[in-house]
Amino acid sequence: MKLYGIPNCNTVKKARDWLDANNIAYEFHDFKKHGIDEATINSWLSQYPWEKLINRAGLTWRGLDDATKSGITDNASANTLMQAKISVIKHPILVKDGKILALGFDENAYKETCLL
């Protein structure tokens, strides 16, 4: 299992704390240190619409100019943005065998997904 995110994000901290408290092994992928590749984003975009993967409530999105925001209209433009501005990706993303198990952190969803 792999958890993608930014270590100083409170939501990512909650997810990591929950996984640790429940003795669930995972690898942490730090977006800031390791970035994200196009193939991974494309895999995620095949599972979720770009509107769910881009955190439009976050500071990074809100800091973009209107032309950039309005230019995100499909998977290709979303992928380009997510690679250029990693912080715009909703996090954490919990993945197992290439499949997204959870987008964001919700304790009940993690219980259902991770404690099978």
Catalytic residue numbers? 9
Q: What is the dihedral of CA 52, 54, 55, 61, to 10 degrees?
A: -150
* Spatial separation of the C-alpha atoms in residues 15 and 72, rounded to whole Å: 28
Cβ burial, residue 63 (10 Å; 0-12/13-18/19+): exposed
**CA end-to-end span of the chain, whole Å?**
14
Q: What is the DSSP letter of 3?
A: E
